[in-house]
Amino acid sequence: MPAFEDFEGQSAHIARLHSDFERGTFVHAYLFAGPRGTGKRSVARLCAMTALCRGEKKPCGVCGPCRRVLSDTHPDVHTVAPEKGKKTIGVDVLREAIGEVGTKSFEDGAKIMLFPEAERMTPAAQNCLLKTLEEPPAGTAFFLMTDQPGALLPTIVSRCRVIRFHPLSQEQAEARLRALGLGAQDAARRARMAEGCVGQALAIDEAQLSLRQTLTKDVFSVHSLADALAVVNRYKEDKERQALVMDVLECAVRDILIAQSGGMPLEGAGYAAEAEAYARAVPPEGGIALSRQVMQARRMLGSNVAFASALEMVLLKVSEEYAKWRW
């Protein structure tokens, strides 16, 4: 079972949260803001367990209420999410959730409302929630969690205690992943891929790890226009992975820049030997130019330019650099 101490590096307010819920002095609404995978939902669940725990040391993790919170079956803990087949949380969902808040708790304790993707609430749903936050029921705690706090109405934010979550450092993330049972090399590779977001690191599957190797081999083997076109053809039809291809490429270029600037080397991070050779042979000015091209590719995709065209521009930049630096 996770503990509050596991998340102390991701927010300065973890100890206070633990204390407030242990003593029953929590406020009625919290906004947990930060990148995906930084522990927002895990900490909200720990707060719920602490508020409802019947053990001596809270949360004990073994009493009935703790076990029910952990298994998402506690009748006084409600998760608000979009209806099946919908992308947004509509006003009808909010009204139903608020109706639950108004009823007596099943176990004569607190009532907890979890919003794991609060940014999905429509404006009408947010306004519906706002009325409840203005006059909150006693003994109820709302947890709004989001990586897009700007999507929430300012009036909603103003009625919440805002807790900001941050990614861990490379070393902290590796240590946390090792504590969760990962090997040292796997932990290092995942921590770098997820930029210190432990939850994201754990969610990385073997397909992503394999793509990291094959994509960087393909990209940094491009020496000519013909090579570039061959690589584009290899990836352009795989529409399901196109966003992931850009994510992996952006992460690789970032790590290359760090290595070129004298920081952590690429060796052991799961990249192909061709990418490692690029990082050793090309000076930072080349990595910066490539980084700008990847960012431009992102903008092109955001403007509905075809994926093949955006990737081709990146690969042409790689071939230009090969003509200069020959790695």
Q: pTM of the predicted model, to two decimals?
A: 0.80
Give per-residue pLDDT as tens, 26-36.
999 999 999 99
The pair of structure tokens assigned to 163 is 């807790």
Residue 189 pLDDT grade (very low, low, confident, very high; cuts 50, 70, 90): confident
Q: For residue 89, give the 3-state DSSP assignment.
A: strand
Count of residues for the chain? 327
CA 90 to chain centre: 24
- Looking at residue 208, its pLDDT comes to 83
CA atoms of 11 and 44, how far apart (whole Å) = 13
The pair of structure tokens assigned to 290 is 């490539």
Half-sphere exposure in the Cβ direction for 99 (13 Å, CA): 6
Our CA angle for 204, 207, 209, nearest 5°, is: 60
Residue 268 pLDDT > 80: no
What is residue 63's DSSP assignment? S
140-146 sheet: strands from edge to edge: 77-79, 111-115, 140-146, 29-33, 161-164
Residue 72 pLDDT > 90: yes
Give per-residue pLDDT as tens, 50-63.
999 999 999 999 99
Listing DSSP states for 109-136 in one string gives: S-EEEEETTGGGB-HHHHHHHHHHHHSP
The pair of structure tokens assigned to 323 is 């003509």
**Residue 114's closest CA among 140, 158, 80?**
80
The mean per-residue pLDDT over the stretch 222-243 comes to 91
CA atoms of 128 and 295, how far apart (whole Å) = 39
